[in-house]
Structure 1
Amino acid sequence: MGTAQNLDVVSLSFSPIPTEIRHWLTAVVVLGFLSFFTSCSLFLVLGYRLFKWHLKAKRTNQFVILIFNLVLADIQQSLAFLLNTEWLRMNQIAVGTRICWAQGWFVSTGDLASGVWCLAIGIHTFASVIFNYRLRPLHFYLTIAALWTFVYGMALIGVGLHPHDLYVRAGPWCWVNHKFGQIRLWTHYFWIFVAQFGVTVTYALIYVMLVQRIRSGSFGEAEALRAKTISNFMVVYPVIYVFCTVPLASARMAAMSGHSPSLRHLCLAAAMITSNGWLDVLVYTMTRRIMIFSDEPPPEAYGVDTFSTPFWGDSHKRLRVTTTIEATARPGKGRGHMALHSRPPSRNGSTDDLVGAQKGIGLKEIMTVTTTEVRSDPAELADMVELEETRKQKPQTPEKRVSMDGVN
């Protein structure tokens, strides 16, 4: 790759790197390596889980797939700043080298992809939690392909327009030439600001709607407690993304308006944006542990199926008692009777069916079935929904489910 021609002083190679800037770049490299290592680790774990789930259950989970793509974006973003290792080794930022071009490419694709997938996860969470809606599998995978096409398409626009002098020195690393301000704005920072705004609004809406449902009594006691925990999680995701991306985006926008930031300012902003990777890994593994430790994919039927109690939360099991009383009329005669039928305990609990019948008016008896279930596993909101659906689907003929005696 040839050396770019007709570059101004702020775009030319930089040698030697001042000692103070070397210290700042070293911090950027360390945080970049941390993000790269943790993102690659989670990428491999999720890849293994998705493959295993597909083989075992013939299904996966849309949210986990979105996290998989976010981690892939974080890998590219962290790799961009990890390449500063080469500048530290050479004690110069060499424009026109393959490393310079690769770094510019990964900054363009990694930063944009991270914002795109953060927003996609926010929209998916909003649709799932608030409306219990998910795309059909075909539409879901087409959307994934379209988002990656958009990310790489934005980067290729600049490469196509300026193949020889697009990526040059832009402060303490290589990126888009400052002369191409329109390319910087419309293929990169405009969309990052859209992602920042979209992520903030989306999670704010989720939080407000969940809190409103809790206050209106839409949830039971256990559901309300879990919904409150989930709503608190919703604040963390946009805060991390905005906190990490705003400093660099605002610094570059200031440079476009003629107020160039110092190299130290840019290094600090780079340290924050490259921390996006390890912070994403930290927050998602702490709040969505099921995607790492579960042998079965979370069911797609529930909008909160991948949430779990964080490591700092209450790890003790909570008791749950569910009582269902059903009554049905059936023809019969004879004296009243009472029978107790026990089933084996399930999920660390016990379940008994207490069946009582009393002789009614005419030739009918009223059958009363009381099901009491005591469970000692962690109460999940999805389980509550599952219990309710199971109750609704129970047959209306209790004699098929229980043994009867004492009938003449």
Structure 2
Amino acid sequence: MNPNESNETNESNETSSPDFFTASFTQNPYPVYEKLRKDDPIFKVMFPSGEFGWIISRYEDAVQILKDSRFSKDIVKRYGADGQSIFSSNMLFSDPPDHRRLRGLVQKAFTPKLVADMRSHIQSIADVLLDELPSQETMNLIDDFAFPLPIIVISEILGVPAEDRDKFRMWSNTVIEASTGQNAELFQQHEREFTEYLTAWFAKVRQEPGQDLISQLVIAEESGEQLTEKELLGVVSLLIIAGHETTVNLIGNGILALLEHPEQRDLLIQKPELIHQAIEEMLRYNGPVEFSTSRWASEDIEFRGQQIAKGELVIVALDSANRDEEQFKDPDVFDITREKSAHLAFGKGIHLCLGAPLARLEGEIAVSTLINRFPNMKLQIDVDTLEWRPGMIVRGVKEIPVLLK
């Protein structure tokens, strides 16, 4: 695994690495990341999509890549406009000045003040979800709590019916799993369904605009803000997907860490004021976004002794950077008393997740409410049998069956 050698040697190493993108890797990628950080921190590999590119595994390198404007996020610049998905027409896959314009239209809905004002309402949602559990003895943490909480919240912000959350989840799963390079037909089908749904909803909003974010975006589009129909589709679909995916997996991974470390759970119950530090540690220890989204070198770049050619794909392994022993003391230890760390769970630079304050608040409320309601909660099955979601974007478990009492 030495990308310093010739291209021919690189290709042999890239395709022969048995631990990458396998089921065992998905189950526990951290030993592989530790080896990468030590031996090949700027590692060239073939991704599941069939494209060669680079994985950045060390914290310091990750920060530099995430902030370096020479690495473009604009997918159209790299591959052209033909055949691009609606999911790529948003601020996540754009460079300045388009990025600034698109983000500016959305970020006013996620200011710290507006998010803080939602606390009591989010708390009510969490309480109702737990009150209405089919059973007070067992539950599937993901389906019964971790998923519905954030999808209800983002649906209310956007103004779409929370009753359609199963559709949003299906479409979101397809987008997330598309990074494996499989199910192209299903992706196209669900993209079409999502587009038709949103187009019909935009038409309804144009007739009867409200105070929700979609109404604001539609009005902005019609007031000369140069938001095209494709951008409107791209921005709203991103908000629906990103607006719940990060929080679902923050809650799921975070509770899982507490269940695997019951002394930390007990400490949090005894000292509820630790919840802020606990959420930051959950984000660092087993973060909900495993890899950054794609970047492409806009020119030939020498980076840490490696030659990254113009147009080559570069991806940051965020969960690896967050376990970097050069940055974090005892990085493999889950410690909710750890001082607030500069983890990269929400990215860095101009593409820092604008929904981070909301995700943190939802995580705090969800974790606190759950462990205080069910302090003796434990896993119903062995942790090694949990099935982790496929794909190269989010890190999360499909189902977490728990005993509540």
Q: Same fold judged by TM-score > 0.5?
A: no
Query: Structure 1-normalised TM-score?
Result: 0.26
TM-score by length of 2: 0.26
Structure with max Cα Rg = 1
Work out which structure has the larger RCO, using CA pairs closer than 8 Å and 6 or more positions apart in sequence: 2
